[in-house]
Structure 1
Amino acid sequence: MDSDIHSFLSHVVQLEIRIRKAINTQMHGNFSSIFKGSGLEFSDLRQYHYGDDVRHIDWNTTAKGHGTFVKLFKEEKEQTVFFLLDVSASQQVGRNSQSKLKTLKEVAGVLSFSAMQEASHLGFCGFSDKNEKFMPPAMGKKHAYRVISELFKMEPENTGTDLKAALGFTLQVLKRRSLIFVLSDFIDENYHDLLRAMSQMHDLVVIQLVDKQEIKLPSLGIIPIFDPERKRTTWVNTSSKFFKNLQREQGSHRAEELKKLCKQWQADYISIRAGEDFVPTLVKLFTIRK
């Protein structure tokens, strides 16, 4: 296993080098700005001046009767980067060498390595319909390498998906404003409210993993299709026009709806196809976020 982890880490480093070179070339500047601290922490108090933001008034101090005081803040220099990773059975779609789960691990690994280079606190939660693996955010290269190692080794025990519960858990454990990457195929329901809440409280990046088989299944006639999450087999006519249209419309609608909502919530959104070179897509994401 150690040699497998070493191979995975080497692959991640090579991908990260490609991204860093592309960004520094295109942007003529600073890769580290992607992971800079985006939160604010309380620093001091001073008396209210005309024009100050009333939302920053400290009402507890003001109530003591010595004047009106406002809170002063300073930028948090140490960013927390957290990954929320869908490792449910639907991520196994595709060939093992090109599954959504394999691509998800590589993307999270590359971003983790990038965050480590910028001295960020790093943590993750892998979920199915339960928390499969949780590592609280911490700092240091030793911890970061352990995060990447655990990402690679993670094999889910359960098959279902509960994105709503995973989002709720993350909102509970991350009290300070953080940069959160949510990686999933988003084949679930009733999670939009919590995803919106996350976009309001944190700096949110949504990464949707898709597989071309989910969008366009070859014409194979009537075949059994196994649902790994529900552990149920359904016979479908893959050659029928109805099935092809339905499959394409469902996949397209899910992606377009999520992209639209992220734009409304001012969250970043990208879509990555399993097994394809995702470096250009991440470069584009980083360029947008600068």
Structure 2
Amino acid sequence: MTIEPDFLDELGRFSAALNRQTTSIRQGDQRSPRVGDGLTFSDYRRYSPGDDTRRIDWKLFARTEEYFIKQYEEERSLTVHLLVDTSASMDYGDASSHKFESATKLALGFAYLTAAENNDFRFCTFRDRVDRIDTGQSNRGELLSLIDQLNESTLAGQAAFESSLAAYAERIRSRSLVVVFSDCLTEPEELEAGIAALARNDADVLLVRVVAPEERDPGVVGDVLFADPESDETRRSYFSGSLAETYRSRLDAHVDSVSNRVTALGGDHVLVETGEEYFDSFASVWLQ
């Protein structure tokens, strides 16, 4: 697999700001729900002894003859955690619709615009555990280094969604956005448990599910040997019209189940077909 960095140069047109709240310590462009010193007016409250008299709104006093203090929302930076699935099932699809390459380019685009808005990102891959692969620079040089590392990724084994995501949730120290990129080929209950662990840790969660066109429609007829890339199990079946329809119905039901479980937890779910034009797919993720 070879990801070329050229697509990053085109991402400048996606300038929509992330409308997410955070309680991170470093000041930046995002607004925090915690009231304190900042640049954005929030509300008034009555003066109490010990308050800074410089905050008194004297124009309001002239109208009401009562002392009111101006309150402001603190402006804080947002930390965006990007987690890309490296299980064996992600190694699927042709050059234009490869699942891991598509997911990785979406994650890199997210990192690029996050850094452009003066926010921090954490870039990770996961399978049985989550491994952070960035160095904390959150700049273009970092992105180019990430592309080199991701091009050398080994896709193997199964993703342990519950244990790996739950362990990572313990590492999140401020209100953040966590974006998980995966094909979600696991039991919905396991995926739900992992997302729930992230949501419990005061994180906004966005699950980006990548589906290759060949998964929607395998394009085979007759006696076919199917192989599971994660377990090496094989199954021979006669894949005809009725079985193909049953397969598509079960895939759609799995997608709906995962989506419903994520949204019930307060997260967001986006389905991306990997054969789509990159910027259309990216817009559906970034503007979610």
Question: Cα RMSD (Å) of the superposition?
Answer: 3.0
Greater share of residues in helix: 1
Q: Give the direction of change, closer, same or farther, for the CA distance of 1:73–1:171 in structure 2 (3 Å limit).
A: farther
Q: TM-score, normalised by structure 1?
A: 0.73
Helix, strand or coil: the match of 1:237?
strand
Q: TM-score, normalised by structure 2?
A: 0.74
1:206 and 2:202 equivalent?
no
Partners of 1:185 and 1:209 within 8 A in 2: yes
Residue 279 of structure 2 is matched in structure 1 by 279
- The Cα shift of 1:258 comes to 2.0
1:218-233 → structure 2 map (5 Å cutoff): 218-233=219-234
Partners of 2:225 and 2:235 within 8 A in 1: yes
Partners of 1:218 and 1:238 within 8 A in 2: no
Q: Give the direction of change, closer, same or farther, for the CA distance of 1:169–1:124 in structure 2 (3 Å limit).
A: farther
1:27-42 → structure 2 map (5 Å cutoff): 31-34=16-19, 36-37=29-30, 39=32
Partners of 2:112 and 2:139 within 8 A in 1: no
Residue 54 of structure 1 is matched in structure 2 by none
Helix, strand or coil: the match of 1:208?
strand
Deviation track 1:202-245 (CA, whole Å, cap 9, x = no partner) reads 1111111111222222232111112110012221212251x212
Q: Give the direction of change, closer, same or farther, for the CA distance of 1:237–1:73 in structure 2 (3 Å limit).
A: farther
Residue 114 of structure 1 is matched in structure 2 by 113
Alignment-mate amino acid for residue 11 of structure 1: F
Partners of 1:100 and 1:275 within 8 A in 2: no
Residue 10 of structure 1 is matched in structure 2 by 6
Residue 195 of structure 1 is matched in structure 2 by 195
Alignment-mate amino acid for residue 207 of structure 2: V
Partners of 1:168 and 1:194 within 8 A in 2: yes
Q: Give the direction of change, closer, same or farther, for the CA distance of 1:38–1:85 in structure 2 (3 Å limit).
A: farther
Q: Give the direction of change, closer, same or farther, for the CA distance of 1:118–1:137 in structure 2 (3 Å limit).
A: farther
Partners of 2:86 and 2:155 within 8 A in 1: no
Q: Give the direction of change, closer, same or farther, for the CA distance of 1:266–1:146 in structure 2 (3 Å limit).
A: same
Gap runs ≥5 in structure 2: 21-28, 38-44, 47-70
Cα distance between partner residues in 2 of 1:73 and 1:236: 65
Cα distance between partner residues in 1 of 2:259 and 2:149: 26
Cα distance between partner residues in 1 of 2:236 and 2:248: 18
Residue 173 of structure 2 is matched in structure 1 by 175
Cα distance between partner residues in 1 of 2:129 and 2:138: 28
User: What is the percent sequence identity of the aligned residues?
Assistant: 18
Cα distance between partner residues in 2 of 1:73 and 1:151: 42
Residue 259 of structure 1 is matched in structure 2 by 259
Point out the structure with max Rg over C-alpha: 2
Number of aligned pairs? 246
- The Cα shift of 1:43 comes to 5.9
Residue 60 of structure 2 is matched in structure 1 by none
- The Cα shift of 1:179 comes to 1.0
- The Cα shift of 1:264 comes to 2.3
Gap runs ≥5 in structure 1: 21-30, 51-71
Alignment-mate amino acid for residue 211 of structure 1: A
Q: Give the direction of change, closer, same or farther, for the CA distance of 1:285–1:148 in structure 2 (3 Å limit).
A: same
Cα distance between partner residues in 1 of 2:32 and 2:156: 35
Alignment-mate amino acid for residue 276 of structure 1: E
Q: Give the direction of change, closer, same or farther, for the CA distance of 1:228–1:102 in structure 2 (3 Å limit).
A: same
Residue 56 of structure 2 is matched in structure 1 by none
Partners of 2:77 and 2:120 within 8 A in 1: yes
- The Cα shift of 1:123 comes to 1.0
Residue 134 of structure 1 is matched in structure 2 by 132
Alignment-mate amino acid for residue 17 of structure 2: S
